[in-house]
Amino acid sequence: MRKISGSTFYFKKLFPALWFGFLAVLFVTSFSSGAEDESIMFLAMPILLAVFGYVLFKKMVWDLADEVYDHGDMLEFRKSGKTQRVNLKDIINIDYTHMSSPERVVVHTKKEGEIGNELPFSLPMRFNPFVKNPLVRELIERVDDAKNT
């Protein structure tokens, strides 16, 4: 058993807390300023940035699995106290998004599980984002082998 997912603490908890905290400070300081004609724009911008951040985090970060373990012939996904095991032969497709932060892998399965049938997770950080992750390439090959046997 080996862990194939990266840490999600920074992306799921720390960065959103910093983002919304900064916007809250910006909102409070612009609200307390004395000029009413200029403060409307300064009030609207933190609200718009908060909505933008919420949509972006919800779509790209908050759906990520907390941990993914490779057991050889199956993958184990853990998210919010729930666990789902997926056999490699039950995987329909693997989508991989590199050149993003975090790098995302979405495993599509035949069966709906406790977490779902689209299981996104992030990969461990690496230094060269221009090359396709070898872990994903290996996983795709293993899924193909499992389907052909």
Question: What backbone phi and psi angles, to 5 degrees, belong to 46?
Answer: -60, -35
User: Does position 47 have pLDDT exceeding 80, yes or no?
Assistant: yes
Specify the range with the lowest mean pLDDT, choosing from 32-36, 52-56, 63-67, 97-101. Answer: 32-36
pTM of the predicted model as reported, rounded to 2 decimal places: 0.82
Is residue 39 predicted with pLDDT exceeding 70? no
Q: Is the pLDDT of residue 33 over 80?
A: no
d(CA 149, CA 147): 6
> To the nearest whole percent, how much of the chain has pLDDT over 90?
57
Condensed to tens digits (0 to 9), the pLDDT of residues 88-144 reads: 999 999 999 877 778 899 999 998 989 999 999 998 888 777 788 889 999 999 999
Confidence check: pLDDT of 13 > 80:
yes
Q: Which of 52, 60, 55, 53 is nearest to 8 (CA)?
A: 60
Read off the pLDDT band of 35 (50, 70, 90). low
Six token digits for residue 10: 């920074």
Calculate mean pLDDT across residues 83-89.
Answer: 94
**Structure-token pair, residue 11:** 């992306």
pLDDT reported for residue 27: 83
